[in-house]
């Protein structure tokens, strides 16, 4: 009688070897892939200043009730004769098809003196920065096209009104501003006091490490007494978006004409986002302080 | 069974390699290299820094080397008829009125603008234009202020008389 041999339920020597090889290969692959993924994540965190690259757009749900604009900003109160910031962009300002704009800029203002509170805006200021312009805006630095331009403007007391000046053309809407560094300095043109009548607007524009332009302006017959320095982003349209823009080297000038780095985070005067803004590196009274790095994005 | 495991292992391998390499390349493209920013330098301001080209606006007719203006009053009128004023559109029912067009020196234009800088040497020829709206203030940059007007009655602008480029524009609420 032949006994039926049961089916072999154990593996052979060959199959054991193959399974171990597959397992080992599998472990190696997991380790390799993980290292690639982690390396990539670390690069992103290190080089893009550890912020989420979330393409967000829209309009804030509580714009300023008077202007209808949205802001991501910080301001430092206090009398000063000058202020400086470096706008360090990673990405672009986008506002294709907009009727409004999105900016990154610095404001140098007097919101308290009676000569300025009696103006239509209840404040005087000088501002400079990068803005998008709609294609149909005749003040466009590339007529007929959505574009990205550097500008300065002022609102002056004693009937001087608001005036805006073109400074530099970066390109069309959405032009990558990453290669650029834009230094902006606004200061008393005749001394170091917070009171004056002429304010210089100086810029230094670097592209890929090379200084390519230094357009400027002069705000004249502007007798403001400056008591506020503000940095940040202004939004006046629902169709905008923006990359990561960093405000660095934030400085103010004391009464002796000495430039000092900001050492505090200032006051948050933002509306609800967008645009978004936060201190990626806070200014501090500490060694190595360079005025912090305030990031805006939308 | 072994063949099944092998194929399964290869499939997982491919997925993980793709994910790993994808993560590496996407992060690399999202993090452009940038030279370190030089420390800020504060040099004394030179007024010549304010003599910027301006934005292209009115198309010049004549050579820009002539001493006189390179465009006419009619060109200015045509420009505003096509583009409107810089601050924004006129309020519904209103019409843009051009109050004055003057070819004057930069110094004279500055005086007409209550001392606003025109961005040209005093004796440089510019074209000063004053208009009336009222205008909706849709193109105005401003800080986060306590009050902001929505319309302005008057506006003005100065163009480079030789290039037709816009040098400055502004408005007055009253």
From the number of C-beta atoms within 10 Å of its C-beta (0-12, 13-18, 19+), residue B168 rates as: buried
pTM beyond 0.95 = no
Distance CA B73, CA A191 (A): 41
For A36, which of B20, B56, B79 is closest by C-beta distance? Answer: B20
Q: Does A239 touch chain B (CB under 8 A)?
A: no
For B27, which of A40, A137, A290 is closest by C-beta distance? Answer: A40
Distance CA A181, CA A104 (A): 13
Selected for mutation to probe chain B from A13, A40, A297 (highest B CB count within 10 Å) is A40
Tell me how many residue pairs between chain A and chain B have CB atoms under 8 A apart.
253
**Cβ of B26 and A40 within 8 Å?**
yes
The CA angle B35-B36-B39, to the nearest 5 degrees, is 140
Which two structure tokens, joined as six digits, stand for A254? 């004391």
Residues of chain A with pLDDT under 50: 1-17, 32-56
Residues of chain B with pLDDT under 50: 1, 19-30
Contact A107, A224 (CB under 8 A): no
Distance CA B85, CA B79 (A): 9
Q: Does A171 touch chain B (CB under 8 A)?
A: no
Which two structure tokens, joined as six digits, stand for B70? 């390179």
What is the model's pLDDT at position A67? 87
Q: What residue in B sits closest to A147 (Cα-Cα)? A: B55
What is the model's pLDDT at position B67? 83
**Cβ of B9 and A35 within 8 Å?**
no
Q: What residue in A sits closest to B115 (Cα-Cα)? A: A221
Distance CA A187, CA A198 (A): 9
Selected for mutation to probe chain B from A29, A53, A240, A244 (highest B CB count within 10 Å) is A29
- Residue-wise pLDDT for A49-104, tens only, equals 333 333 345 688 788 888 899 999 999 999 999 999 999 999 999 999 999 999 99
Which of A97, A101, A91 lies closest to A127, judged by CA? A101
**How many Cα atoms occupy the beta-carbon half-sphere of A74 within 13 Å?**
25
b/e map of A20-59 (b: 16 or more CB within 10 Å)? eebeeebeebeeebeebbeebeebbeebbbebeeeeebbb
Q: What residue in B sits closest to A46 (Cα-Cα)? A: B31
What is the model's pLDDT at position A22? 54
Q: Does A236 touch chain B (CB under 8 A)?
A: yes
User: Closest Cα of chain B to A103: distance in Å?
Assistant: 9
End-to-end CA, chain A? 85
Distance CA B87, CA B172 (A): 10
Pairing of strands A102-110, B97-105: unpaired
Q: Residues 6 or more apart from A271 whose CB is under 8 A from it? A: A60, A62, A63, A64, A69, A70, A71, A72, B144
Q: Does A258 touch chain B (CB under 8 A)?
A: no
Residue B78 φ/ψ region, left for φ over 0, alpha for ψ in the -120 to 50 degree band, beta for the rest: alpha
What is the model's pLDDT at position B3? 59
Q: Is A28 helix (H, G, I), strand (E, B) or coil?
A: helix
Contact A164, B168 (CB under 8 A): yes
Contact A164, B169 (CB under 8 A): yes
What is the model's pLDDT at position A1? 37
DSSP class of residue B89?
P
User: Closest Cα of chain A to B173: distance in Å?
Assistant: 7
Which two structure tokens, joined as six digits, stand for B86? 């810089």
Instruction: Name every chain A residue with its beta carbon within 8 A of the beta carbon of B172.
Output: 159, 161
Instruction: Name every chain A residue with its beta carbon within 8 A of the beta carbon of B39.
Output: 249, 290
């Amino acid at each position: 009688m032949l006994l039926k041999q049961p089916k072999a339920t154990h593996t052979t020597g060959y199959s054991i070897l193959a399974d171990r090889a597959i397992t080992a290969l599998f472990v190696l692959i997991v380790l390799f892939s993980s290292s690639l993924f982690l390396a990539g994540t670390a690069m992103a965190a290190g080089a893009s200043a550890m912020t989420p690259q979330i393409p967000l757009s829209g309009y804030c749900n509580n714009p300023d009730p008077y202007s209808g604009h949205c802001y991501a900003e910080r301001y430092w109160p206090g009398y000063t004769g000058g202020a400086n910031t470096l706008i360090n962009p990673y990405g672009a300002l986008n506002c294709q098809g907009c009727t409004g704009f999105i900016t990154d800029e610095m404001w140098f203002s007097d919101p308290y003196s009676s000569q300025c509170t009696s103006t239509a805006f209840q404040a005087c200021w000088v501002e400079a920065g990068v803005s998008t312009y709609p294609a149909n805006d005749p003040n466009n630095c590339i007529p007929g096209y959505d574009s990205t331009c550097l500008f300065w403007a002022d609102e002056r007391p004693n009937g001087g009104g608001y005036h805006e000046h073109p400074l530099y053309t970066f390109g069309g809407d959405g032009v990558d501003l990453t290669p650029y560094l834009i230094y902006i300095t606004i200061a008393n043109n005749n001394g170091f006091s917070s009171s004056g009548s002429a304010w210089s607007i100086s810029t230094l524009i670097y592209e890929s490490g090379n200084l390519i332009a230094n357009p400027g302006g002069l705000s004249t017959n502007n007798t403001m007494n400056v008591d506020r320095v503000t940095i940040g982003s202004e939004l006046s349209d629902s169709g905008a978006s923006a990359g990561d823009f960093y405000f660095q080297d934030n400085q103010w000038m004391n009464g002796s004409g000495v430039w000092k780095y900001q050492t505090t985070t200032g006051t948050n005067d933002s509306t609800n986002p967008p645009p978004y803004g936060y201190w990626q590196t806070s200014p501090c009274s500490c060694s190595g302080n360079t005025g912090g790095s305030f990031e805006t994005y939308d | 069974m072994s063949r099944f495991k092998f194929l399964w292992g290869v499939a997982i391998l491919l997925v993980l390699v793709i994910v790993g390499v994808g993560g590496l390349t996407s992060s690399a493209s999202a993090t452009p290299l940038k030279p370190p920013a030089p420390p800020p330098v504060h040099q004394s301001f030179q007024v010549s820094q304010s003599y910027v080209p301006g934005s292209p606006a009115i198309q010049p007719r004549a050579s820009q080397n002539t001493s006189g203006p390179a465009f006419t009053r009619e060109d200015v009128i045509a420009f505003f008829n096509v583009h409107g004023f810089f601050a924004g559109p006129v309020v519904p029912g209103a019409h843009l009125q051009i109050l004055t067009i003057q070819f004057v020196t930069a110094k004279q234009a500055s005086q007409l603008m209550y001392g606003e800088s025109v961005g040209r040497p005093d004796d440089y020829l510019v074209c000063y234009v004053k208009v009336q709206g009222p205008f909706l203030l849709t193109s105005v940059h401003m800080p986060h202020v306590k009050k902001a007007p929505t319309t302005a009655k008057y506006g003005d602008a100065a163009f480079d008389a030789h290039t037709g480029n816009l040098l400055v524009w502004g408005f007055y609420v009253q």
